Amino acid sequence: MKINQAFTILQHAGGIRAARIITEKYKKISWIKTMYFSHLLRRGVPVAKIIHEKWFFGLKFYTNTHTLDPRPDTETLVSSVISDYNYEKFPPRILDLGTGTGCIICALVKNIHGASGVAVDKSRRALHVARKNIHQMDMTDKIKTIRTTFDRPYNFGEQFDVIVSNPPYIAKNDPRVNDAATHDPSIALYADENGLSAYKSIANNAKHWLKDDGKLYLEIGIDQATDIKNIFLSNGWNLCRNEYDLGGIERVLIFEKARP
């Protein structure tokens, strides 16, 4: 099939942007594949899930149905860490809780000279994706992966300068969730206790993993800031600052351990 014919079909199914991305990805595309992609677009499947890649912080990541697609909002989280540690004399050790595709820790290690760390996830399939991305970016000597959860005080054998996390924070049955999110794994999106359970686990356990002078960086959902601040303040943390995303939404909270 000629590429312009495929473009027209895909445009009708998912719009001009989706058609452009897919046809640029596949320079040669068969009739069968074109119709299959058209079917997926009509079902509302995100383009990233169709072509199995998504750009994040200038880096191309492999993604699939077992991982949350990297989102522009999360770049605010990465930028917050880089602004604090890009000029530090000693490169940080980073712990990424719930790594998914590995996009956060890969972007940090790529942009902070000498940085290294550990990426954890409780999903075996998500860790397979993270390892694939770490390998493709030639970071296997800098980033270790571990299958565990932040719901318990796992012993990493070290403490970290930076802990970063984009945990599941959507309340179950939240009506604001768009159709595209239905193609992401629910384990990476939804949390109990009105979307706050993951933050409670991190507040309880991360103190064991963070150095006394380290910082904890968290992505949060819309209108969650007050509740999350209260959770951490009542668990022996101090709020350093907050950061807003490009849409003006309070998106990142940065904490440190309270001094005795």
Q: Are residues 115 and 195 in the same domain?
A: yes
Distance, in Å, from the CA atom of 163 to the CA atom of 149, rounded to the nearest integer, reads 14
Helices assigned H by DSSP within the chain: 3-14, 16-25, 31-42, 47-51, 75-85, 103-111, 124-136, 192-195, 197-205, 225-233
Q: The pTM is what?
A: 0.91
In terms of average pLDDT, the best of 9-13, 39-43, 197-201, 256-260 is 197-201
* Phi, then psi, of 193 in degrees rounded to 5: 55, 50
What CATH number is given to the structural domain containing 228? 3.40.50.150
Q: Are residues 21 and 143 in the same domain?
A: no
What pLDDT, on the 0 to 100 scale, is given for residue 251? Answer: 96
Please write the tens of the pLDDT for every residue from 91-148: 999 999 999 999 999 999 999 999 999 999 999 999 999 999 999 999 999 999 999 9
**Number of compact structural domains in the chain:** 2
Q: Are residues 175 and 250 in the same domain?
A: yes
Q: Are residues 43 and 93 in the same domain?
A: no
Q: Are residues 13 and 98 in the same domain?
A: no
Task: Give the three-state DSSP class for 255.
Answer: strand
Domain range spanning residue 39? 3-48
State the chain's mean pLDDT as an integer: 90
The closest alpha carbon to 205, from 243, 146, 149, 244, belongs to 149
